[in-house]
Amino acid sequence: MRGNARGGGGGAGGRRATYGEVPEGRKPQRAPWLTASVAPAVPPGHERDGALRVAFPMTSSPYLTDTHRRFQARVRDFALERIVPVARALDESAEFPWESVKAMGEEGYLGVPIPRELGGMGLDTLSYILVVEELAKHDASYAITVSAHTTLGTSPILTFETREQQER
């Protein structure tokens, strides 16, 4: 028998509430992290069709140095200039963003934690995380491209290959 001990599944006429439906007699609850004080991830003027964007910026983190904050702002500016204007069209056409990814490489975002002597930026792991976070705020496909390139592609080479192989 379905339902609770009082017989019936709750809600109107013994019917169970479906996913997303608020059972009769209960108030809808709002997730505690969705408050009016949370700033949107997309700066004013860059909204996409009025979609709700919620940001949890790392800008107030005690772990960020001024260098980290400047680097984060640089990545944000890149995303607003090079990614946001083409993201929708690329999504709709299901095309890979070759030009934008090439530009990310030219900026060094595909090699943030890679040592300088191997052609990377030679920055710390937090800088790499900031790149992924900033890109994900604007288009997740760019963040996953950087992440996959760095962790799946380059990381095994740095970890397991000889110096000679790494330099190729």
Q: List the structure tokens of 90.
A: 């690329």
Do 18 and 71 lie in one domain? The reply is no
Please identify which residue in the block is written with the tokens 């709750």: 10
Q: Is residue 46 included in any domain, yes or no?
A: no
User: How far does Cα 36 stand from its chain's mean position?
Assistant: 21
Instruction: Tell me if 78 is assigned to some domain.
Output: yes
Q: Indicate if 70 and 25 belong to the same structural domain.
A: no
Share above pLDDT 90 across residues of the chain, in percent, rounded to a whole number: 49
Average pLDDT over residues 97-124: 94
Query: What is the domain count for the chain?
Result: 2
**For 94-106, what is each residue's pLDDT tens digit?**
999 999 999 999 9
| Structural domain includes residue 56 | no
Q: Which residue has the tokens 């040592």?
A: 115
Digit-coded pLDDT (tens) for 11-63:
445 555 555 555 666 665 554 444 444 444 445 554 554 444 444 455 567 78
CATH number (domain holding residue 144): 1.10.540.10
Give pairs for 115-124: CB < 8 Å, separation 24+: 115/158, 118/158, 118/166, 118/167, 123/71
Q: Cα(132)–Cα(140) distance, rounded to whole angstroms?
A: 9
Residue 140 tokens, joined: 């997740």
Name 75's bridge partners.
Answer: none
The residue range of the domain holding 146 is 66-166
Same-domain check for residues 8 and 71: no
Task: With respect to residue 5, please indicate whether it lies within any of the assigned structural domains.
Answer: yes
* Whether residues 145 and 71 fall in one domain: yes
